[in-house]
Amino acid sequence: MLKIVDQTPVFLACGDTDMRKSINGLSAIVKNTFQLNPFDKAFFVFCNRQRNRIKILTWEDNGFWLHLKRLERGHFKWPAVGETTTMILSADELWNLIQSPGLEQKLRRTQVLAGR
């Protein structure tokens, strides 16, 4: 399970990322595009074009962790590439981003109308 600590910085890649990339490819994006060190104690978050998968890259002690979440229904709310390619989030904002699609899926129109 992903352990999110309040003091850990979160860097989010705006727009979409090729989800075929693994640790080496994503750490290259962190280094070359974010201009950050992938070995820093931080979370680097990426999303695919369909907005139904995210990958989180983080360094811990002596190796990288690569977390993947795939939604069966729904989409992540994700910023497009604009003035910046990277956003900085708090740990709470990352947690809300990860959890929010699950909350939206439970309230489908047919379920709400059936309860009347």
In a domain, 92, yes or no: yes
In a domain, 32, yes or no: yes
In a domain, 18, yes or no: yes
Spatial strand order of the sheet with 43-47 comes to 63-70, 53-60, 43-47, 10-13, 86-89
In a domain, 1, yes or no: no
Q: For the segment 3-39, what is each residue's pLDDT rounded down to a tens digit?
A: 776 788 999 999 899 999 999 999 999 999 899 999 9
- The domain total for the chain is 1
pTM of the model as a whole = 0.80
Q: Would you place residue 61 in the very low, low, confident or very high pLDDT band (cuts 50, 70, 90)?
A: confident
In a domain, 67, yes or no: yes
Q: Would you place residue 80 in the very low, low, confident or very high pLDDT band (cuts 50, 70, 90)?
A: confident
Find residue 45's DSSP bridge partners. Answer: 12, 56
Domain with 109, as residue range(s), is 10-114
Cβ-Cβ contacts under 8 Å for 73 (sequence gap 6 or more): 105
As a whole number of angstroms, the distance between CA 84 and CA 14 comes to 8
Contact 107, 114 (CB under 8 A): no
In a domain, 4, yes or no: no
* Mean pLDDT for all residues in the chain: 82
